[in-house]
Amino acid sequence: MGITAITDAAMYQPLEVGRPESKQGELTTDDFLRLMIEELTHQDPTNPMTNQEMLAQINDIANMESLKKLDASMSAMTLQQQVTTGGALIGRIVSGISTTGANVAGEVVRVISSSTGGVSLVTDGGDVIPIAMLTGIAAAEDETNG
């Protein structure tokens, strides 16, 4: 009785079965572990994975988790910096491209954060300008006369 390699990819279930739509295409640690277990289960017994190969895969898992945590920390820090910058602009005159695509200017009266993580400034005229779309900042008129 000979041992044959499994080469038919159709025998394997896709990783994304049963996942919420927003998570499709994103490889998680659980997916990586499932892949590794499947690989170990179906490996050729006459040519098993070496300890070094297994340690390399485990190291890849740890690196992936570290990178995900670093990305989340950097995103939070960027949002915090943008909110702080926006807060410092309250009462200042700003110009920029609004969310409607128009060139606008006005005094900043409020800072808002969107669900996508972007921070925008709201002017006294009701225009919303994303911080990244600012083209100018000036002192408020009463500051220049005083």
Q: What is the largest CA-CA distance in the chain?
A: 95
Share of the chain above pLDDT 70, in %: 77
- Give the domain range for residue 136: 89-145
pLDDT per residue over 120-133, tens digit each?
A: 999 999 999 999 99
Given a contact cutoff of 8 angstroms between Cβ atoms, the answer to whether 109 and 97 are in contact is no
pLDDT (average), residues 86-90:
92
CA 40, CA 86: separation in Å to the nearest integer?
52
Beta bridge pairs of residue 137: 94
In whole angstroms, what is the distance from residue 123 CA to residue 109 CA? Answer: 5
**Does residue 77 sit in the same domain as residue 93?**
no
In a domain, 34, yes or no: yes
- Asked if the structure places residue 44 within a domain, the reply is yes
Does 1 map to a domain?
Answer: no
Examine residue 21 and state whether it is found in any structural domain, yes or no: yes
Q: What is the mean pLDDT of residues 62-87?
A: 89
72, 41: one domain = yes
How is 39-91 classified by DSSP, letter by letter?
HHHTS-TTSPPPHHHHHHHHHHHHHHHHHHHHHHHHHHHHHHHHHHHHHHTTT
Q: How many domains does the chain have?
A: 2
Please, what's the b/e burial string for 20-33 (b: 16 or more CB within 10 A of its CB; e: otherwise)? eeeeeeeeeeeebe
pLDDT for the residue 25: 59
In the prediction, which pLDDT does 145 show?
56
Give the model's confidence band at 62: pLDDT under 50 very low, under 70 low, under 90 confident, else very high: confident
**CATH number of the CATH domain containing 103:** 2.30.30
Q: Is residue 47 part of a domain?
A: yes
Banded model confidence at residue 4, pLDDT cuts 50, 70, 90: very low
On average, the pLDDT of the chain sits at: 79
Residues 67 and 95 in one domain: no
Enumerate the β-bridge partners of residue 37: none
18 and 73 together in one domain: yes
Averaged pLDDT for residues 30-42: 80
Same domain (yes/no): 62, 106: no
Q: Is residue 6 part of a domain?
A: no
Q: Judge if 100 and 51 occupy the same domain.
A: no
Beta strand 128-130 pairing with 119-123: antiparallel
pTM comes to: 0.55
In a domain, 4, yes or no: no
